[in-house]
């Protein structure tokens, strides 16, 4: 599904997969993307481009296709038209394997401990035990490391899901309403995490109804209906 | 990638043995089925000896289907399966590792309790190990074939009963050679080696082909 239409612009520094350094000069582009789900066209003709170190906010009313677009970039949905490129990364690695996707589901097992949950995803997504521990620390969940994830509150579950971002290095972050249910302190921590990621040359796509204290372009999906709050 | 596979295996085993995981459910069900059989058939030792292999294998077959419907469904419902497709580990490997872990937590206990249950079916003490051996060779095949059914029904909320309906016809060859190997071990007259070799080849075939089929079914279901 990755159609390499044209050669990467600039001079991308290639590195082997699995290194913790992000590739400089990465660039994600979508051209004329369309998505059909259950026979209904969710969106069509969506184009965007993100450079390394920048962020794009997805805006739009409920059902405009923000989540669908993120899932589409994550390779979890197939675009019905258009194409997606991630230039400047290692070759022949699908976008899905270079991206973190934090969706509405927490992907946690209540029977496993907090650290076991995060450690598992760190191992699967290319991180290590050490990065998992550090990520847990950053998420403020270290005191709960040995408790089963089943006892966590909704906000803590969300923070544990978001801790994945720091547990394994991946250049593209796809965040679907990441601030749902988390408190102000955790929101600030998330924004710091996003800032650091952008500073390191990462790319972020974020769907949110919140105001973000992070600079970035906005991609409006679907016409905002008159009178509806954004 | 091998690190990821190992992490997945460890996670699956942990989930199975913890509260609500249902690791021993299969063995307990197996025990129940085999124990009620002598009550149903009656205290005729010769008859028990004759139907013993069939009882053991039907019991093992049904027991190995327990919990199979949740093999992928649980990960599908909490979004884990989506994330797994975003890792470097190919889906085929993920399916194979999950099925292998499922066998270790549900199939292996069947093999271990089989000699004890054989005593109830008037199996000669010398043949008890051979009975366990046939289950050891055959049950991985059952689990891996079952993974195809589990993958096909991953998106169905009430797919629990559909898995056996889909899977049981596919397990008939394993059942036939499993029973004949067990029968040969218990009563003879032919040697156990021929049916055991066929049983082994059926299991090896399913170890290779079932993950491919199940991964293809999962990809369809996840679209």
pLDDT, averaged across chain A? 83
Q: How confident is the model at residue A17 (pLDDT cuts 50, 70, 90)?
A: very low
* pTM for the whole structure: 0.86
The minimum CA-CA distance between B8 and chain A, rounded to whole Å, is: 7
Q: Any residues with CB less than 8 A from the CB of A59 and at least 6 apart, and which?
A: A66, A218, A219, A220, A221, A224, A230
Q: What is the pLDDT of residue B173?
A: 94
Kindly calculate the radius of gyration of chain A based on its CA atoms and give it in whole angstroms: 17
Span A65-92, average pLDDT: 88
Domain that holds residue B98: 3-222
User: Rounded CA gap, B207 and A169, in Å?
Assistant: 34
> Which stretch of A206-215, B91-100, B168-177 has the lowest confidence by average pLDDT?
A206-215
Closest residue in B to A68 (Cα–Cα):
B223
* Residue A58 host element (H or E): strand A55-59
User: Rounded CA gap, A116 and B165, in Å?
Assistant: 35
Closest residue in B to A119 (Cα–Cα):
B7
Q: What is the pLDDT of residue A10?
A: 38
Q: What is the pLDDT of residue B39?
A: 87
- Which of B83, B87, B219 to mutate against chain A (most A CBs within 10 Å)? B83
Closest residue in A to B89 (Cα–Cα):
A124
Q: How confident is the model at residue A115 (pLDDT cuts 50, 70, 90)?
A: very high
Structure-block tokens of residue A110:
């209540």
pLDDT digits (tens, 9 = 90+) for B113-126: 988 888 888 788 87
Is A111–B14 a contact, with Cβ atoms under 8 angstroms apart? yes
Q: Any residues with CB less than 8 A from the CB of A104 and at least 6 apart, and which?
A: A67, A176, A177, A180, B79
pLDDT at B37 over 60: yes
Q: How confident is the model at residue B97 (pLDDT cuts 50, 70, 90)?
A: very high
pLDDT at A66 over 50: yes
**Domain tally for chain B?**
1
């Amino acid at each position: 599904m990755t159609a390499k239409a044209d050669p990467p612009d600039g001079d991308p520094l290639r590195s082997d997969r699995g290194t913790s350094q992000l590739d400089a000069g990465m660039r994600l582009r979508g051209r004329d993307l369309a998505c059909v789900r259950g026979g209904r066209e969710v969106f069509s003709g969506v184009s965007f481009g993100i450079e390394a170190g920048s962020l794009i906010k997805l805006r739009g009313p409920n059902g405009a296709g923000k989540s669908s677009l993120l899932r589409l970039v994550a390779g979890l949905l197939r675009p019905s038209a258009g194409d997606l490129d991630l230039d400047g990364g290692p070759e022949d690695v699908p976008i899905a394997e270079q991206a973190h996707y934090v969706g509405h589901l927490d992907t946690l097992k209540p029977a496993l401990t907090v650290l076991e949950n995060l450690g598992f995803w760190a191992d699967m997504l290319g991180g290590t035990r050490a990065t998992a521990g550090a990520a847990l620390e950053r998420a403020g969940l270290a005191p709960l490391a040995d408790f089963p994830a089943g006892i966590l509150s909704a906000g803590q579950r969300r923070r544990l899901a978001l801790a994945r971002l720091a547990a394994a290095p991946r250049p593209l972050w796809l965040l679907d309403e990441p601030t749902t249910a988390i408190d102000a302190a955790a929101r600030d921590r998330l924004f710091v995490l996003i800032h650091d990621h952008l500073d390191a040359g990462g790319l972020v796509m974020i769907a949110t109804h919140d105001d973000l204290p992070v600079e970035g372009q906005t991609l409006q999906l679907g016409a905002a209906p008159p009178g509806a709050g954004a | 990638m091998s690190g990821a596979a190992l992490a997945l295996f460890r996670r699956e085993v942990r989930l199975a043995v913890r509260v609500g995981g249902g690791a021993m459910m299969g063995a307990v069900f197996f025990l129940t089925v085999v124990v009620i059989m002598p009550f149903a058939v009656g205290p005729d030792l010769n008859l028990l000896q004759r139907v013993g292999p069939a009882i053991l294998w039907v019991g093992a077959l049904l027991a190995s289907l327990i919990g199979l419907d949740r093999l992928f469904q649980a990960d599908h419902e909490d979004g884990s399966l989506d994330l797994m497709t975003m890792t470097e580990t190919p889906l085929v490997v993920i399916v194979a590792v999950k099925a292998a872990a499922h066998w270790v937590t549900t199939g292996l206990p069947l093999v271990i309790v089989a000699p004890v249950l054989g005593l109830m079916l008037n199996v000669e003490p010398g043949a008890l190990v051979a009975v366990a051996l046939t289950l050891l060779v055959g049950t991985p095949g059952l689990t891996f074939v079952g993974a195809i059914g589990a993958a096909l029904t991953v998106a169905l909320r009430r797919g629990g009963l559909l898995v056996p309906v889909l899977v049981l016809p596919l397990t008939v060859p394993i059942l036939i050679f499993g029973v004949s190997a067990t029968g040969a071990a218990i009563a003879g007259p032919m040697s156990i080696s021929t049916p055991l070799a066929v049983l082994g080849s059926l299991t090896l075939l399913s170890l290779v082909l079932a993950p491919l089929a199940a991964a293809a079914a999962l990809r369809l279901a996840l679209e």
